[in-house]
Amino acid sequence: MRLKKNDTVKIITGKDKGKTGRIVKCEPKKERVYVQGCNMIKKAVKKKTTQDKGGIIEVEGPIHISNVALLVKGGQTSRVGYKMVDGKKVRYAKKTGEVL
C-alpha cells in the first residue's frame, strides 16, 4: 500500500467524489483507508458507564484504496512511486517528481 496515515487524498469516485481529507487509518490487508470527514456512516453505540451517552453516532467508513488519489501541491492528484535517494528508498509523486 503506497498511501500512508496522514496523507492528504482526494476521493475520485463514489458518493463523496471530489471531497478531500486526511487519511485517519489504513488497513493494508483489506486495501481500505478511512478518510477524515468522508464516507460517514451511522453507528449505534451502547452506554458503557453512567456518564457515557449511548445512541447513534457518525463515524468514517472504509473506502477502497483505488477510489482515492494522493493530493500534491497545487491541488492536483498524482500516483505514488518509489525511488532511491542517497541510498534510501523514498516515496515521490509521479506527476510532479516531488519527494513526499
Full DSSP string of 70-100 = EE-TTS-EE-EEEEEETTEEEEEETTT--B-
| 48-77 pLDDT tens trace | 888 888 899 999 999 999 999 999 988 899
Burial track 39-64 (b if 16+ CB lie within 10 A, e otherwise): beeeeeeeeeeeeeeeeeeeebebbe
pLDDT of residue 40: 92
> Taking the model in full, what pTM does it have?
0.83
The third-level CATH classification (topology) of the domain covering 8-75 is SH3 type barrels. (2.30.30)
Which residue stretches of the chain have pLDDT < 70?
A: none
Q: What is the largest CA-CA distance in the chain?
A: 57
Which amino acid belongs to residue 78?
A: S
Q: How far is CA 39 from CA 25, 88, 97, in A?
A: 13, 36, 30
Domain boundaries, given as residue ranges, for the chain: 8-75
pLDDT of residue 97: 87
Mean pLDDT, the chain, integer:
91
